[in-house]
């Protein structure tokens, strides 16, 4: 496999291992609901340290990761701040933030992304997937990094998302798309068995005619080719006589069409003048394999996202944030990549679109998905978390309410009869003009769209939910523990030791601090004899004894036992001779072992 080389790679290749564990500190006043590390989390802090802090609790448990890292355009003002102990890396810090004139900005971007992607890989569940948005600046390097970390065979695909519909006339080529790279932890053929098919018109189900069968979308009633028994005339409700489209036939025989009509499954667009379409009800949809082209009218673009953000923060005239990702885009990812109880992680959280998308999808399908957001910038509380608070509780909306009154696909035939189309628009203005402050006409993506706009003061209902706001505590550094400078809480040290010993996440609910029990891994029970009290740690109470070893083995039979403790008063040889399946692992407190006469 071709390897990506960048300046500094040798220093960051295993840098994620040197990042210290830091406990998550909960702030009850900034969240909603009872604080808990088991539910929705918003973490304010460096995302490299936050990902390391999540490992002891969530390694191998995240089902879907969506990240929107810096695109490295040279105009974003991001900084490389990782504490890598290498002179060359330290030199880089003198040239922060990364600008367009920085000749090493691509190397610095790779050095920043490498350890974060290594940790994200560890957090993914066996059937989890990573979705990362990038533009042309770094997509090729991003893909090369992911090929090395995940393996090139784990690349599921590369999606083109239409991020804008207007033209950028200052550019050599107007950029219309961003890329979404998709990698799975398991083989893509295996991941395919766990991902969901995308429902046709997933975001287009509605019930404009109050059909008692519920929400529906529609498909054209025509088929490619020629079948004699499917060529006949159809008369619309307005009396227009229709033949099948040129080169096609109707989608079924005439008796079948009449049956569909009798069942109320035929929809006539354009006020009854259009070609018939057949209703597909939501519960009947079989689903389609997701494609690699996502258009803005399906999942929104960055302009739509900005408008929605300003609706939520209607008291603001502008929000200084470039290209926030639309919740509809992330909802589509969630619909494909998650189940109703999945865990979704976004370690470049920005404006909090991922949390918004998770909450909206939960409301739509009665799901119980949870999210973890990480944001290192100062706006983590006032923008990221505040958006989530408003989405959960509801918010006052002052802005423009838009109602679509006409959508007409333009064709040469339509243009030849432009006068008729103009009169149709004038008729809409005469009929509905008094209901709105203005009637807006625009041509977008080859369609004429007429919209009624009205200034409103409304209250958007909340989606419900809870979250806990966290910051990062002081690092759990064993050398400071050894000197007695820093004695972390039991849970913080225990989670770090459990993960280091087992490479698995700790189930915090199973921890029993009073009994010194951490939890159960796939192959063993893990214990920690510890209290954050230096005098106690020097006492005989902190040692593993024969009686305590027997007690541990009897309490949790069936597996071997790993016991972390500052000291022991029983030899490994004696434990083996008495068939007690306990292994002692010394904590860095050996300097304080009790001297025995």
Alpha-carbon distances, residue 461 vs 283, 343, 390, 394, 552 (angstroms)? 26, 25, 9, 5, 52
The confidence score (pLDDT) of residue 594 equals 32
The confidence score (pLDDT) of residue 595 equals 33
Evaluate if residue 555 carries a pLDDT over 60: yes
Question: Where do the structural domains in the chain lie, given as residue ranges?
Answer: 9-198+290-396, 216-284, 399-459, 476-592
The confidence score (pLDDT) of residue 591 equals 34
39 token code pair: 């539910």
State pLDDT tens for residues 480-521: 665 667 788 899 899 989 998 998 999 988 999 999 999 999
Q: For the residues of 524-557, what is the DSSP string, one character each? A: EEEEE---S-HHHHHSGGGEE-HHHHHHHHHHST
Bridge partners (DSSP) listed for residue 65: 130, 345
State pLDDT tens for residues 379-407: 999 999 999 999 999 988 776 766 778 87
92-101, 119-128, 448-457, 537-546: which has the minimum mean pLDDT?
Answer: 448-457
State pLDDT tens for residues 191-227: 988 899 876 555 567 787 888 888 888 888 888 777 7
- b/e burial code for range 345-379 (CB count within 10 A of at least 16 → b): bbbbbbbbbbbbbbbbbbeeeebebbbbbbbbeeb
Does this model's pTM top 0.95? My answer is no
State pLDDT tens for residues 364-376: 889 999 999 999 9
Q: Evaluate whether 493 touches 518 at the Cβ level (below 8 Å).
A: no
73 token code pair: 């355009």
Evaluate if residue 166 carries a pLDDT over 60: yes
Nearest CA among 283, 161, 145 for reference residue 211: 283
**In 182-293, where does DSSP find H-type helix?**
188-191, 254-262
CATH architecture of 9-198+290-396: 3-Layer(aba) Sandwich (3.40)
State pLDDT tens for residues 459-484: 878 999 999 999 999 888 766 665 66
Is the pLDDT higher at 15 or at 459? 15
The listed range with the strongest mean pLDDT (335-344, 500-509, 535-544) is 335-344
Averaged pLDDT, 147-170: 93
Nearest CA among 148, 41, 449, 541 for reference residue 439: 449
The confidence score (pLDDT) of residue 211 equals 87
Q: Evaluate whether 278 touches 267 at the Cβ level (below 8 Å).
A: yes
32-36, 53-57, 422-426: which has the minimum mean pLDDT?
Answer: 422-426
What is the β-pairing status of strands 124-134 and 177-184?
Answer: antiparallel
The confidence score (pLDDT) of residue 285 equals 66
State pLDDT tens for residues 94-153: 888 898 888 899 999 999 999 999 999 999 999 999 999 999 999 999 999 999 999 999
466 token code pair: 């809870």
23-32, 35-44, 111-120, 204-213: which has the minimum mean pLDDT?
Answer: 204-213
- Write out 62-107 in H/E/C secondary structure: EEEEEECCCCCCCCCCCCCCCCCCCHHHHHHHHHCCCCCCCCCHHH
H or E, element range at 584: strand 582-586
**Who contacts 572 (Cβ-Cβ below 8 Å, separation ≥6)?**
583, 584
Instruction: Output phi, psi for 381, to 5 deg.
Output: -85, -50
The confidence score (pLDDT) of residue 248 equals 87
């Amino acid at each position: 496999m071709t390897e990506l080389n960048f300046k500094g790679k040798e220093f960051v290749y295993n840098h994620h291992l040197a990042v210290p564990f830091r406990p998550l500190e909960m702030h009850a006043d900034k969240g909603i609901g009872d604080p808990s590390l088991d539910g929705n989390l918003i973490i304010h802090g460096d995302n490299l340290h936050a990902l390391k802090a999540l490992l002891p609790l969530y390694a191998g448990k995240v089902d879907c990761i969506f990240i929107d890292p810096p695109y490295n355009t040279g105009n974003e003002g991001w900084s490389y701040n990782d504490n890598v102990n290498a002179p060359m890396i330290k030199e880089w810090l003198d040239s922060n933030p990364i600008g367009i004139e920085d000749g090493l900005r691509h190397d610095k971007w790779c050095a920043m992304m490498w350890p974060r992607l290594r940790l994200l890989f560890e957090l993914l569940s066996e059937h989890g997937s990573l979705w990362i948005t990038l533009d042309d600046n770094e997509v090729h390097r991003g893909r090369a990094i992911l090929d090395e970390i995940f393996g090139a065979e784990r690349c599921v695909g590369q999606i083109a998302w239409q991020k804008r519909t207007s033209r950028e006339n200052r550019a050599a080529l107007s950029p219309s798309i961003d890329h979404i790279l998709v990698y799975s932890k398991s083989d893509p053929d295996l991941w395919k068995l766990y991902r969901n098919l995308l429902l046709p018109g997933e975001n287009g189900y509605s019930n404009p005619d109050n059909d008692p069968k519920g929400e529906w979308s529609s498909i054209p009633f025509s088929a490619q080719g020629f079948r004699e028994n499917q060529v006949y005339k159809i008369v619309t409700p307005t009396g227009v006589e229709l033949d099948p489209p040129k080169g096609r036939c109707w989608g079924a025989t005439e008796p079948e069409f009449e049956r569909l009509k009798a069942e109320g499954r035929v929809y006539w667009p354009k006020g009854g003048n259009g070609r018939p379409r057949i209703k597909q009800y939501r519960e009947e949809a079989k689903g389609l394999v997701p494609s690699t082209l996502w258009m803005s009218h399906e999942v929104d673009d960055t302009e739509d996202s900005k408008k929605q953000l300003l609706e939520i923060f209607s008291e603001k005239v502008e929000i200084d944030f470039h290209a926030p990702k639309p919740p509809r885009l992330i909802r589509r990812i969630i619909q494909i990549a998650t189940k109703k109880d999945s865990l979704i992680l976004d370690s470049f959280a920005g404006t909090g679109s991922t949390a918004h998308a998770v909450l909206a999808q939960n409301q739509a399908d009665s799901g119980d998905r949870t999210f973890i957001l990480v944001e290192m910038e100062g706006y983590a509380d006032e923008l990221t978390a505040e958006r989530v608070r408003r989405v959960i509780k509801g918010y006052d909306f002052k802005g423009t309410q838009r109602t679509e009154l006409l959508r007409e696909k333009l064709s040469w035939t339509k243009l030849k009869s432009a006068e008729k189309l103009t009169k149709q628009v004038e008729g809409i203005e005469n009929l509905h003009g008094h209901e709105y402050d203005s009637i807006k006409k625009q041509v977008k993506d080859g369609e004429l769209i007429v919209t009624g706009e009205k200034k409103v003061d409304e209250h958007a209902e909340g989606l419900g939910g809870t979250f806990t706001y966290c910051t990062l505590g002081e690092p759990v550094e064993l050398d400071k523990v050894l000197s007695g400078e820093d004695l972390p809480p039991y849970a913080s040290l225990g989670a770090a030791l459990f993960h280091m010993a087992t490479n698995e996440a700790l189930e915090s609910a199973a921890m029993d601090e009073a009994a010194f029990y951490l939890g159960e891994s796939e192959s063993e029970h893990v214990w920690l004899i510890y209290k954050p009290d230096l005098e106690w740690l020097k006492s005989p109470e902190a040692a593993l004894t024969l009686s305590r070893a027997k007690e541990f083995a009897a309490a949790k039979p069936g597996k071997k036992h790993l016991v972390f403790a500052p000291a022991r008063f029983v030899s490994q040889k004696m434990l083996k001779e008495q068939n007690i399946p306990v292994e002692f692992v010394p904590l860095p407190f050996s300097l304080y072992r009790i001297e025995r006469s």
